[in-house]
Chains A and B, each alone.
Chain A
Amino acid sequence: MERIPILRMGRFLIVSIQVDMHDRLALTLQADLAARITETGAHGVLLDISSLEVVDSFIGRMISNVAATSRVLDAETVVVGIQPAVAITLVELGLSLPGVRTALNVEKGMAMLRQATVHLDHAADLDSDTLSESPDGSAAM
């Protein structure tokens, strides 16, 4: 069955949607992502939807569900690369994704995730492959 890959990068998970979303795929992604977050103990999820040209209310709700699920599992979620047309559609559908962080592109999204999880740098139980951050935690918002 078709699946959307979930990549691990340090303490973050990266999901890049490169195909047309359909409902089954969205549900599978939700389940897979929740499983992976628990499995890896990731602290952040980056959802790249820059290739998504068409959204409907279901996909919109899926995005906000993914974010809510991740938050419950203690992982920050940033949705990046929403196209103008998609943004307008979501707003017209009344889905303004409250509580979901957004960023313009992957780079800014990663920066946002790092900043949001910078306080975890000092924690002892981090994996050895964690991205290095400056020990100065004063930049945290």
Chain B
Amino acid sequence: MADTSRAVRSDSGRIARVLEQDSSELLDAWVAAQSGVLSLRGSISPNELRAQSREFISLLQKAAANNPAGVTGPGWEDVRAFLADLSSSRAIQGFSPGETATFVFSLKEPLFKRLRRAADSDADVLATDIWNATLMLDELGLYTTDVYLKSREELVSRQQQDLLELSTPVVKLWDGILALPMVGTLDSNRTQIAMESLLQRIVETGSDVAILDITGVPTVDTLTAQHLLKTVNAVHLMGAECIISGIRPQIAQTIVHLGVDLEGVVTKASLADAFRTALQRTGRSVVRATAPAAPTNERDRA
């Protein structure tokens, strides 16, 4: 890092001059290069792209002229903040990390062209300039990617949190009968939360039967089955009965193939069957109140 800083320091003034003198011409060339790559997306307008590019060039020029230290050093805060904004907004817009980093990297070609012109066929000067410019732009590009990934991670973790909160509703089906419809993949974290809220509700409502509906669980592996069994055991310990329902044919086959022992666990194919069993266990039954023509009563539908 120290080497980089020194190298940039020695000649960043020349780069800044090039950026200043040819700024409008450079901008045109750069925007053209970018739109070649970004045209696939179309979610960013040419005007917006041009405005962003212009702002970046002017910030870069200022930073390179006045603050000779490396890109990570002081004086580059504005450039970094601009790139952070840009990449997080692009992450949300759905650009890939490559496309986001291209914003910076695509500046190389037009900038190098102008550096060559400014170097006036002095090979030494040109080589130094290009090396410095490469270092600078590479670092900025990597920084952009870092920020992009960070904002993506934030997005993912926020969605995970949302999912966790959404996925554990304990519903009361009848007096003394609770149901927990599980949706999505069951990992330890989610099962734990689901188990806790189910047990808590059993205590609160004094329920005798809890139905664990796994219709919305796409796959069951040994780990998932273990989580389910844990929940069933915990419910038993609380003194309530647990019924697992909503086992789809493929899942039933998987369970058998995996050799998961569901002995002693009441399983039903559908939630309706489980509810019927639960009603029976609590000393109730489902009867038709009227003629079959008009099923108006809720118990009827059940």
Residues of A within 8 A of B200 (CB): 84
Residues of B within 8 A of A86 (CB): 237
B15, CB-defined interface residue at 8 Å: no
**Taking the nearest CB of chain A, how far is it from the CB of B26, in angstroms?**
63
- Assess the A87–B206 pair: CB atoms within 8 A: no
- Assess the A104–B238 pair: CB atoms within 8 A: yes
Given A84-B200, A87-B199; A105-B236 close (CB under 8 Å):
no
Which of A10-18, A25-33, A90-98, A117-125 contacts its partner? A90-98
Given A84-B238, A104-B203, A105-B206; A96-B196 close (CB under 8 Å):
no
Residues of B within 8 A of A83 (CB): 203
- A78: nearest residue on chain B (CB-CB)? B239
Given A84-B200, A88-B199; A108-B239 close (CB under 8 Å):
yes
Residues of A within 8 A of B234 (CB): 84, 87-88, 90-91
- Assess the A84–B239 pair: CB atoms within 8 A: no
**Taking the nearest CB of chain B, how far is it from the CB of A22, in angstroms?**
22
- B230: nearest residue on chain A (CB-CB)? A91
Cα-based distance from A96 to B236 in the complex (angstroms): 8
Which residue of B195, B208, B233 is within 8 Å of A104 (Cβ)? B208
- Assess the A84–B206 pair: CB atoms within 8 A: no
A80, CB-defined interface residue at 8 Å: yes
Which residue of B199, B203, B237, B239 is within 8 Å of A96 (Cβ)? B237
Q: In B40-84, which residues have CB < 8 Å from any A CB?
A: none
Cα-based distance from A103 to B234 in the complex (angstroms): 12
A44, CB-defined interface residue at 8 Å: no
Which residue of A80, A96, A103, A108 is within 8 Å of B233 (Cβ)? A96
B7, CB-defined interface residue at 8 Å: no
- B264: nearest residue on chain A (CB-CB)? A98
- Assess the A102–B199 pair: CB atoms within 8 A: no
Residues of B within 8 A of A82 (CB): 237-239
Q: In B175-229, which residues have CB < 8 Å from any A CB?
A: 192, 195-196, 199-200, 202-203, 206-208
- Assess the B199–A104 pair: CB atoms within 8 A: no
Residues of A within 8 A of B237 (CB): 79, 82, 86-87, 90-91, 96-97, 102
- Assess the B233–A91 pair: CB atoms within 8 A: yes
Residues of B within 8 A of A104 (CB): 202-203, 206-208, 238-240
Q: In A45-98, which residues have CB < 8 Å from any B CB?
A: 79-84, 86-88, 90-92, 96-97
Residues of B within 8 A of A108 (CB): 208, 239
Cα-based distance from A105 to B199 in the complex (angstroms): 14
Residues of A within 8 A of B235 (CB): 87
Cα-based distance from A105 to B207 in the complex (angstroms): 11
Residues of A within 8 A of B206 (CB): 104-105
Residues of B within 8 A of A88 (CB): 192, 195-196, 199, 234
- Assess the B208–A102 pair: CB atoms within 8 A: no
**Taking the nearest CB of chain A, how far is it from the CB of B178, in angstroms?**
12
Could you give, for residues 97-111 of chain A, a 1 whenever the CB lies within 8 Å of some chain B CB and a 0 otherwise? Answer: 100001111001100
**Taking the nearest CB of chain A, how far is it from the CB of B222, in angstroms?**
16
Additional A-B contact list (6), CB under 8 Å, known A88-B195, A96-B236: A83-B203, A84-B200, A87-B238, A88-B234, A102-B237, A109-B239
For the complex of A and B, the 5 pairs showing the least CB-CB separation, nearest first, are: A84-B199, A103-B239, A102-B239, A96-B233, A104-B239
Question: Could you list some 10 contacts between A and B, CB below 8 A?
Answer: A79-B239, A82-B237, A84-B234, A87-B199, A87-B234, A87-B237, A88-B199, A92-B230, A102-B237, A104-B238
